[in-house]
Amino acid sequence: EISSILVSLPSGFSHAISTEADVETFTSDPNGKWVASGRWLTYGEPGRFRVEVVPSNLTRNEYKMRFPVLIPPVVPARNVWMVSLCGIDSTTGERCFSYTDRAAFLTWPIAGFEIGEVHYSHLGRIAAGGAGLTSWHMLLWILPGILLDWQRR
């Protein structure tokens, strides 16, 4: 069962999350509450963070997160963000802290961006410029049918 979503940033990037209020979560369902209540965000490591979710509320939908990111002055050649759907390791009872952990049962790469590239949601508005702090949008799609069917088995 999915219990969390782990976001792993490329080498050199770090999130600038200092409170849960720094991470905005959205869904196309206006009544959809997909993040857990209470302590729903683990962000102690600058290169990754984990969002606890409500498994029963994950349906076929679009899920979005917006969070602040510190961008290195030079974007690394391997600019790939990893997003993992995680459960709890049945052997150890541990949650995932890396996309290579046993509790991370589905991980997919998301291509990064270049400095100055405009995110599609901001076309016609502003561009991120140079190194520094920017807000990055991450759109997560729960794979229709496949994931939900697998999760129920």
pLDDT at position 9? 93
Q: Is residue 47's pLDDT more than 90? A: yes
pLDDT at position 116? 64
d(CA 48, CA 93): 20
pLDDT at position 143? 42
Is the pTM here over 0.95, yes or no? Answer: no
SS3 assignment, position 84: strand
Give tens-digit pLDDT for 104-114. Answer: 888 988 888 76
d(CA 123, CA 61): 23
Residue whose C-alpha is closest to residue 86's, from 128, 29, 140: 140
pLDDT at position 92? 81
Give tens-digit pLDDT for 74-121. Answer: 888 888 999 898 988 778 878 888 888 888 888 988 888 766 665 555
Give tens-digit pLDDT for 124-146. Answer: 443 444 444 444 444 444 443 33
- Residue whose tokens read 């990064």: 112
Sequence-distant (6+) residues with CB within 8 A of 26 are: 63, 64, 65, 66
